Amino acid sequence: MSDKPDKLITDDGLRLDGRRADEIRPMKIEIGVLSRADGSCYLEWGRNKILVGVFGPREAHPRRSQRADSAVIRYRYNMASFSVEDRARPGPSRRSIEISKVSREAFEPVIMAELFPKTAIDIFVEVLQADAGTRTAAINASSIALADAGIPMKGLITSCAFGKVDGQIVLDLNKDEDNYGDADFPVAMTQDGEITLVQMDGHLTPEEIKKGMELVKKGCKEILEIQQAVLRKKFATPVEDTEEEAAGTEKEGEKEESVPAPEAVQEAAVVEEAVKETEELGAEASEEPSAADVLSSEVIPDFDEELDEEIEEEFEAEEFEAEEEDEDLEDEDEAEEEEFEAESEDDLEDDLEDDLEEALEDEDEFEASFEGTPELKEFDEIEARLEKESVSIEAEEEIGLEPEAEEFVEEESSLEEESEVEETEAASEETIEPETEVEPKVETGEASTEAVEAEEEPEEEKSEGPWKVVKDPSEAGNRGEKDE
Residues in the interface with ligand UDP (CB under 6 A) total 13
- CB of 103 within 8 A of CB of 138? yes
Least distance from C-beta 147 to ligand UDP, angstroms?
22
How buried is residue 64: exposed, middle or buried, by Cβ count under 10 Å (0-12/13-18/19+)?
A: exposed
Residues 69-98 that bind ligand UDP (CB under 6 A): 84-85, 88, 95
Q: Does 131 bind ligand UDP (CB under 6 A)?
A: yes
Quick one: which of 165, 112, 152, 135 has its CA closest to 52?
A: 135
178 phi/psi in degrees, rounded to 5: -70, -45
Q: Is 178 in the site for ligand UDP (CB under 6 A)?
A: yes
Question: Considering beta carbons, is residue 28 or 95 the nearer one to ligand UDP?
Answer: 95
Identity of the residue, 33 or 80, whose beta carbon is nearer to ligand UDP in the bound complex: 80
Taking the C-alpha atoms of residue 101 and residue 416, their distance in angstroms, rounded to an integer, is 79
403 within 8 A of 471, measured Cβ to Cβ:
no
Q: Which is nearer to ligand UDP, 139 or 442 (CB)?
A: 139
Residue 99 CB, nearest approach to ligand UDP (Å): 7
Residue 128 in contact with ligand UDP, rule: CB under 6 A: no
Tell me the C-alpha to C-alpha distance, in Å, between residue 120 and each of 108, 110, 111, 185, 336. Answer: 13, 15, 12, 30, 18
- Closest contact distance (angstroms) between CB of 135 and ligand UDP is 3
| Residue 28 in contact with ligand UDP, rule: CB under 6 A | no
- Amino acid identity of residue 163, one-letter, is G
CA 10 to centroid of chain Cα atoms:
53
Q: Does 184 bind ligand UDP (CB under 6 A)?
A: yes
CA distance linking residue 68 with residue 60, whole number of Å: 11
135, 164, 462, 479: which one contacts ligand UDP (CB under 6 A)?
135
The answer to whether residue 188 forms part of the interface with ligand UDP (CB under 6 A) is: no
**132 scored as a contact of ligand UDP (CB under 6 A):** yes
Percent helix / strand / coil, the chain, rounded to 5: 55, 15, 30
- Under the criterion CB under 6 A, does residue 130 sit at the interface with ligand UDP? yes
Nearer to ligand UDP, 195 or 231 (CB): 195
Whole-number Å distance between alpha carbons of 248 and 245: 5
Q: For the CB of residue 278, give the shortest distance to ligand UDP in the complex, in Å.
A: 51
* Residue 31 dihedral angles phi and psi, to the nearest 5°: -120, 145
| Single-letter amino acid code for the residue at 41 | C
Backbone angles phi, psi at 300, to 5 degrees: -55, -50
**Are 134 and 145 within 8 A, CB to CB?**
no
Question: Of 144 and 442, which CB lies nearer to ligand UDP in the complex structure?
Answer: 144
Q: Is 133 in the site for ligand UDP (CB under 6 A)?
A: yes
- Cα-to-chain-centroid distance, residue 238: 40
User: Is position 134 an interface residue for ligand UDP (rule: CB under 6 A)?
Assistant: yes
Q: How far is the CB of 175 from ligand UDP (least distance, A)?
A: 5
Find the binder of ligand UDP among 58, 61, 175, 462 (CB under 6 A).
175
392 Cβ contact partners less than 8 Å away, ≥ 6 residues apart: none
**61 forms part of the interface with ligand UDP (CB under 6 A):** no
Cα 18 → chain centroid: 48
State the nearest-atom distance from the C-beta of 19 to ligand UDP, in Å.
Answer: 16
CB of 43 to ligand UDP, least distance (A): 13
Applying CB under 6 A, the span of 131-139, 220-228, 393-401, 439-447 interacting with ligand UDP comes to 131-139
Binding to ligand UDP by CB under 6 A, coded x per residue (else -) over 398-437, reads ----------------------------------------
Stretch binding ligand UDP (CB under 6 A), from 132-140, 347-355, 424-432, 462-470: 132-140
Shortest approach of ligand UDP to residue 207 CB, angstroms? 23
Dihedral (Cα; 429, 435, 441, 442), 10-degree rounding: 170
Helix (H) or strand (E) holding 162: strand 157-165
List, as one string, the DSSP characters of 131-161.
SS-HHHHHHHHHHHHHHHTT--BSS-EEEEE
Name residues contacting ligand UDP, limited to 230-289 (CB under 6 A): none
Which of residues 128 and 285 has its CB atom nearest to ligand UDP in the complex? 128
In the complex, what is the shortest distance from the CB of residue 58 to ligand UDP, in angstroms, rounded to a whole number? 28
Interface residue list for ligand UDP (CB under 6 A): 84-85, 88, 95, 130-135, 175, 178, 184
